[in-house]
Amino acid sequence: MSAKEMGENGGGIWIQGGGELASGVAMRLARCGYAVVAAEINNPLAVRRMVSFSEAVYDGRIEVEGITGRLVSPGKVRFVRGEVTVLVDPKASCLSGLAPAAVIDARMTKLEPEPLPCKGIPLIALGPGFYAGRNADFVIETHREARLGEVITEGEASPNTGVPGKVGGQSSARVVRSPADGRLEPLVLIGDMVEAGQCLGRVGGQEVRSGLAGIVRGLIHPSAELSAGVKVGDVDPRGGAIDPALVSDKALGIAGGVMEALLRLRIQPWV
């Protein structure tokens, strides 16, 4: 094994999930010298694809703010310093064999999820569904209007409200949902400017329209299998002031909380 590839647990971190928030965490940890593996499902539903390592499941490779994510098969998974290793492993079957220093549950189910096979390994969990001291060692607050990024050592994060956080003064109107089962046939690209009511694409022959004017900050992959009601797009009313290729302030704040938790656990990056 090369010096770049390390199987010891020193600074190796397993992240269950590869969506926007998980990827913000993975990016910051990789920058700081931690070696990161991100495990995903075989049909990722990330909307902010330009900043989600789950995109590698579809395309084999993705770069998020200078950090490369690379898809590997479960039999070839290793901790690689300086990039994020991505694999399809929804049950975390490779976790115990890899022996990470810590596990981050970033599935964001917002309910108590099926436990991961990480007995004896510190678990840091993002958002609702976890209780520090019961089913996680630390819980990181993910609610924008609570203490975003707070490391909770006893208790739980703010409950899921079911209402998207406000961005540019807009909440539910910025979120675009699928009208039917099927796949998205997009008519716009991430980064395009759109008008309120504009057709962004079709699912199952039904139109998907924007609820406001702004920039297309995210759009689900056209290969993703969708169910009616699933989030398929994100239109940001702040328009051209926003770069869809940059990780959000929310993801950066949560990543800061994860970093604090790791250091409180005395889990250092490789140097």
User: What pLDDT, on the 0 to 100 scale, is given for residue 98?
Assistant: 94
| Cβ atoms of 174 and 212 closer than 8 Å | yes
How far apart are alpha carbons 33 and 271 in whole angstroms?
6
Say yes or no: 143 and 205 in one domain.
no
CATH number for the domain that contains residue 212: 2.40.50.100
The whole domain housing 26 covers 5-160+250-264
Give the Cα separation of 176 and 188 in Å (integer): 13
CB 203 within 8 A of CB 185: yes
| 147 Cβ contact partners less than 8 Å away, ≥ 6 residues apart | 141
Residue 232 belongs to a domain = yes
- For residue 143, what are its two tokens? 């609610």
Average pLDDT of the chain is 92
Confidence of residue 11 (pLDDT cuts 50, 70, 90): confident
- Identify whether residues 58 and 151 lie together within a single domain: yes
Q: Is the pLDDT of residue 265 over 80?
A: yes
Alpha helices in the chain (DSSP H): 20-31, 56-59, 95-98, 249-264
Q: Are residues 72 and 126 in the same domain?
A: yes
pLDDT of the residue at 165: 67
Let me know if residue 50 belongs to a domain: yes
**CATH code of the domain in which 96 resides:** 3.40.50
Average pLDDT over residues 148-171: 82
For the stretch 23-61, what's the b/e string if a residue is b when 16 or more beta carbons lie within 10 angstroms of its beta carbon? bbbbbbbbeeebbbbbbbeeebbbbbbbbbbbbbbbeee
The confidence score (pLDDT) of residue 168 equals 66
**pLDDT tens digits for 175-224?**
999 999 999 999 999 999 999 999 999 999 999 999 999 999 999 999 99
Cβ neighbours of residue 79 under 8 Å, at least 6 residues apart?
A: 5, 6, 7, 11, 12, 35, 36, 37, 85, 98, 100
pLDDT at 239 over 80: yes
Whether 16 and 127 share a structural domain:
yes
Predicted pLDDT of residue 4: 43
- The tally of domains found in the chain comes to 2
Q: Report pTM.
A: 0.92
